[in-house]
Structure 1
Amino acid sequence: MNARVKAGYSIFLSAIIAVAMQTSVISQEKNSELYVSLKGNDNASGTRELPFRSIQHAVKNAVPGTAIYVHGGVYNESVYVDKSGTSEKYITIQNYPGEKPVLDLKFEKPFGFAIEGSYIIIRGFEIKNVSCDMELKPDIKGNPPSIIGGVMILPPAHHCRIENNLIHHIIGNKKKTPDGIYVENGTDFITIKNNTIHNVAGRTEAMGILACAGEGFLISNNLVYFCDKEGIRIMSRKYDSENTVENNIVLYCHMGISFNSCWSDRKTVGKNNFCGWNWGRGMNPKHTKNVVLEHNTIYGNEEWGIDIHGNGQSTKKDNTNPRVMNNIFSMNSVSWLLLRSQIFSGLADYNFYQYKNGAVLGAFSSEPGDVCYNLNEVREKTKKSKSFVSSCEMHGIAGDPMFTASERFDFRLNASSPAKNAGSDGRDMGVLEEALKSVGADGLYSLAKIPDLGKIKATVESFSSETPEGKAANLVDGNRNSFWEVDCKKDKEKEVIFKFPAEYEIENIIITKYGGGEKYFYKDFELYYLGNSSGDWKKVPPSPEHPFSGFGIIYNGEIWTLPPSIKTQKLKLKIFSSYGETIRIPEILFFKKNK
């Protein structure tokens, strides 16, 4: 385990292990199958007829080849896995067929599963309500542990598979960053597949999947949404590695998929991913070498479709040999940003563009002359740039990709689409229909069925103030580059009332961050809903683990889940304090409860 993480969790893990060692280990001959039930007993034999009570005790009795079957019900335990299987005999911890075990940590524990062993499979669990305020032992430098997670894979683990799990409401705080699935440096051959991960919040760097990859990582067929930072981030500084992020759906995160500090001499591949409606960027490769982005559909992102950038230091060759091919960019605020001072030997071609009226197609610096509004300008300006191996988008297409029914979340291409069979490989541009199938836990989603998360169209009914530059209506205009601005010296109320088309049970709210720095951030706010039966404003009670307090530099996030039964047609936001004299909020999004 990483020394910093291991030191921090040693007290917590030792308590778990002590409980697990209270009874003797069963003889290996009887351990091919072990069973766990809420009706079981850890002094029993762990058989189908006499199951254990705790998952941790079953792990203690596991040997290579053991399958641990966990019956349905709610378990309030964190599980530490330091046992290992072999290449031919994995240790599997999974749901009993047809049943759903739930690890509910009640916001009192820092992880669902923590894995240090190898050849391990975790399958078929719901893991929820992970957080931790306990003071854990600091490392030798006095630094407190900083990560909590639904599933954590830690060195020296290798050959682990995390499959078909539902992981949600992983909430950070001032000291700890949450991740749905966290994989530490020093691990290899990790597969993260067919998981659904959502509502990872409470701190700026909250991510659905954070994989600090070694060799042989596969992140595939996951559904990720409602994360304060990236839905998926992969990092790798192992030069001889090759890792793949494919067939994922990432929605309504600050950024969709990030390739950060991937320095492979081979390649890191991102393909057949759907990144939609993220309020920042769809994809964000930065500080990379040999990143290949192909056959992705980047739709409706509010800042950039793809942003390739670094620190601009040419001696470091910060983004070397990126390839952006055969993708569809549709209805993003800006299709892509390629900063030529930070790119070396890059190429973008065979991509399809549908952009909003007046939107910038691409930009190569902040200079006005480096902005492109059509493909001809892209071809001409990249021809003159040393950042690219040749003119970009010589085979690019602009127009309507003709999705089957985007209003019904069906993003297959119509048979007459100009993107059909138009890729460099003779296949369709964008996500391939045959690739994006069986996504998420239980494989419910596909390119023909991108999930509808219940976003509600809202209008601004009234507000306490605005400025000429920052109208209140900008909060719901779908443009993250505009904002609502409040002069805190003049406006003591600092409130706005939203109205919905009908009465809905509001489940999630996203308050996006303004990118101009802390001086524009709010500190504390309250929400009120209008009770239709009484006609009175009622206060929305915040959850103790994720209070309605402001963003700050690294805290407190942008996504909040409201308590059940907040059913209303009007919602009021009231801000109490700020870091500076002016507050700016780009956009607020509302989501109803979906069946």
Structure 2
Amino acid sequence: MKKLITLSLVCVIFSFFLEAKEYFVRLSGNDNNFGSCKLPFRTIFKASEIAMPGDTITIWGGDYQLEKQFRPVRSGEPGKWIVYRGAPNESVVFDGEQIKKVFRNGDSVQFSSLTEGVFQIEKVNYLRFENIEVHNSNAAGFIVRGPDCKKIELMGCKSHHSHNSGIGLWYCDSVVVSGCEITGANDNSDLYFVPGQRKGGEAPHEALSLCGARYFEVANNHIHDCFKEGIDCKEVSRHGVIHHNLVHDIPRQAYYVDAWFGLLEDIEFYSNTAYHTMWGIAISVEGKDSELRNVRFHHNLIHHITGAGVLFGMWGNNLLRSDIHIYNNTFYSCGSPQVFSGGVGSIDVLSQNFREVFIYRNICDKGWDYEMGFTFPPSEVKWALKERNFIAEENLFECAKNRPSRVGQFGVHVYEYLPPNNQIGAPLYRNELKFDFVPEQLPEVKLSGRKWKYAPSPWFGAFEPIQINKLSKR
């Protein structure tokens, strides 16, 4: 009875909006219906053909088995977005398991070989998707593909179990991904391959892939229990923010920024959390003739990491990264024994190809082999950092570990080095056993007198402390 009353109220409410229409989709519907609340469509395909700018498509709960990709056919307009939404408080699942092959240029192609999604959002603008789940994709869950694609929003959507990315943004503009959840992405199981098909060594891409995207926002997403990386901002992406995301229980880096095919620039990561991953944050320039610059990491919490909290990676062509700012982050318990990459700790500057790097106001606490390490020999590190304008000041390091250096990935040693103008000590956290890293007490920052390009918070680490222990007057 309660559900019948809710249905009636929804129908009545939307009857008042004459300038915009509401279409409904239900498993028990029929595509020959009018798409009304009482006479809904059966498929999202029919609703997409009918909906005009400003209209909303509401999909009632259920498991919709798809036999082909969903490609929205019409754009919205500024101020008149087309909205695809799961009905409030209902589970709306589009299952792509049956989509094994698609037709491209007249040929039948294995879906798993493509970087396309069960929801393929392409050549459309001003569309919003809310509370929609994609399960069991033989390729990706959601793909937003440009260049003729902008003003797309994925809000509260989910991708579960995919061979490719859960969500991928490819050369599109002005896209928002917020409040989404990705699990089981990048699965390379045999079920995605037919006999005789070549199987690569790993599944393609990452759980959430940003490939040449511009003016994007990726926020408040939850990524966990996947098979590769978490959020990867790569290729020639620029002018984007990645904030308040949670990534955990994946075998590689939680957050990755990696240039390919040219210049990647102006990317900001803040207020993100990662734990139980191989690396917390990785910074690389893998692609030939590529460069990375103006990337900021601040107010992030990176804890209980197998490898390094921050890694300056040497993968690929290992080219120049510059104008990098790492400040007000909390790194706790980063590193573990016998990691294949060699010595590991809070900040691992494995690559030597960098310039204009500024690391300040961070907490580096309980790193395994070191709090900060470099591949420059100890006799050369001071000169090498000065030459590259690498500045690490006003950080709080737990202590010097003085562990012997170990050879690791790429056959290099990482040597501990704590630059001058930093402080030694460790915070008293509110309850680190419950992952609560708000400091109860922190020492006051001893100012170096340096003016930072990006102003930090006046304390060490990601969170404002309950109490700052003032320096004694002398």
In the superposition, the TM-score normalised over structure 1's length comes to: 0.57
Where does 1:235-254 land on structure 2 (aligned, <5 Å)?
A: 235-237=234-236, 241-253=238-250, 254=252
Aligned match for 2:364, one of 353, 377, 380: 353
Aligned match for 1:197, one of 179, 182, 193: 182
1:224 shift after superposition = 0.4
Structure 2 residue ranges without an equivalent (≥5): 1-17, 101-110, 112-116, 189-201, 286-291, 336-344, 399-424, 448-453, 466-474
Aligned match for 1:70, one of 41, 59, 66: 59
Cross-structure match for 2:96 = 105
Query: For the residues of structure 2 that align with 1:169 and 1:312, how far apart are their CA atoms?
Result: 28
Query: For the residues of structure 1 that align with 2:434 and 2:226, how far apart are their CA atoms?
Result: 23
1:285 shift after superposition = 1.4
Which digits, 9 at most, give the CA deviation of each residue in 1:418-446, with x for residues without a partner?
59999963355444589xxxxxxxxxxxx
Instruction: Determine if contact 2:235/2:264 at 8 Å carries over to the other structure.
Output: no
Cross-structure match for 1:408 = 434
1:122 shift after superposition = 0.9
Cross-structure match for 1:493 = none
Cross-structure match for 2:332 = 330
**In the alignment, does 2:309 pair up with 1:305?**
yes
The one-letter code sitting in structure 1 at the alignment partner of 2:358 is L
Query: For the residues of structure 1 that align with 2:24 and 2:235, how far apart are their CA atoms?
Result: 37
Aligned residues: 366
Where does 1:274-313 land on structure 2 (aligned, <5 Å)?
A: 274-278=273-277, 280-287=278-285, 288-310=292-314
Query: For the residues of structure 2 that align with 1:123 and 1:96, how far apart are their CA atoms?
Result: 9
Query: For the residues of structure 1 that align with 2:132 and 2:429, how far apart are their CA atoms?
Result: 35
1:68 shift after superposition = 0.3
Query: For the residues of structure 1 that align with 2:458 and 2:229, how far apart are their CA atoms?
Result: 29
Where does 1:552-567 land on structure 2 (aligned, <5 Å)?
A: none
| Identity fraction in percent | 22
Aligned match for 1:44, one of 33, 43, 47: 33
Query: For the residues of structure 2 that align with 1:431 and 1:79, how far apart are their CA atoms?
Result: 41
Q: CA RMSD in A?
A: 2.9
Instruction: Determine if contact 1:290/1:320 at 8 Å carries over to the other structure.
Output: yes
Where does 1:10-29 land on structure 2 (aligned, <5 Å)?
A: none
Instruction: Determine if contact 1:165/1:195 at 8 Å carries over to the other structure.
Output: yes
Which digits, 9 at most, give the CA deviation of each residue in 1:149-174, with x for residues without a partner?
1111112211100110122111x2xx
Structure 1 residue ranges without an equivalent (≥5): 1-28, 132-147, 173-177, 371-379, 435-595
Q: Residue 407 of structure 1 aligns to a residue in which SS?
A: helix
Instruction: Determine if contact 2:214/2:240 at 8 Å carries over to the other structure.
Output: yes
1:306 shift after superposition = 0.8
Q: 1:342 to 1:313 in 2, by over 3 A?
A: farther
1:103 shift after superposition = 1.1
1:397 shift after superposition = 3.9
Where does 1:153-552 land on structure 2 (aligned, <5 Å)?
A: 153-155=144-146, 156-170=148-162, 172=163, 178-185=164-171, 187-203=172-188, 204=202, 205-237=204-236, 241-253=238-250, 254-261=252-259, 267-278=266-277, 280-287=278-285, 288-310=292-314, 318-333=320-335, 334-339=345-350, 341-356=352-367, 359-365=369-375, 369=378, 381-382=381-382, 385-386=385-386, 388-389=388-389, 391-398=391-398, 399-409=425-435, 411-418=436-443, 425-432=456-463
The one-letter code sitting in structure 2 at the alignment partner of 1:164 is G
Q: Residue 385 of structure 1 aligns to a residue in which SS?
A: helix
Which digits, 9 at most, give the CA deviation of each residue in 1:503-529, with x for residues without a partner?
xxxxxxxxxxxxxxxxxxxxxxxxxxx
- The one of the two structures with greater contact order (alpha-carbon pairs below 8 A, sep at least 6) is 1
Query: For the residues of structure 2 that align with 1:67 and 1:243, how far apart are their CA atoms?
Result: 28
Instruction: Determine if contact 1:106/1:130 at 8 Å carries over to the other structure.
Output: yes
Instruction: Determine if contact 1:274/1:431 at 8 Å carries over to the other structure.
Output: no
Instruction: Determine if contact 1:244/1:270 at 8 Å carries over to the other structure.
Output: yes
The one-letter code sitting in structure 2 at the alignment partner of 1:416 is Q
Instruction: Determine if contact 1:105/1:129 at 8 Å carries over to the other structure.
Output: yes
Query: For the residues of structure 1 that align with 2:180 and 2:232, how far apart are their CA atoms?
Result: 15
Query: For the residues of structure 1 that align with 2:77 and 2:216, how far apart are their CA atoms?
Result: 18
Query: For the residues of structure 2 that align with 1:231 and 1:311, how far apart are their CA atoms?
Result: 17
Query: For the residues of structure 2 that align with 1:125 and 1:256, how far apart are their CA atoms?
Result: 24
Aligned match for 1:123, one of 120, 125, 130: 130
Instruction: Determine if contact 1:421/1:429 at 8 Å carries over to the other structure.
Output: no
**In the alignment, does 2:78 pair up with 1:87?**
yes
1:202 shift after superposition = 2.2
The one-letter code sitting in structure 2 at the alignment partner of 1:102 is V
Q: 1:355 to 1:387 in 2, by over 3 A?
A: farther
1:388 shift after superposition = 4.0
Query: For the residues of structure 2 that align with 1:304 and 1:69, how far apart are their CA atoms?
Result: 45
Q: 1:271 to 1:211 in 2, by over 3 A?
A: same
Q: Identify which range, 205-214 or 93-102, moves more after superposition.
A: 205-214
The one-letter code sitting in structure 1 at the alignment partner of 2:71 is Y
Q: 1:168 to 1:343 in 2, by over 3 A?
A: same
Q: Residue 341 of structure 1 aligns to a residue in which SS?
A: coil
Instruction: Determine if contact 1:31/1:61 at 8 Å carries over to the other structure.
Output: no
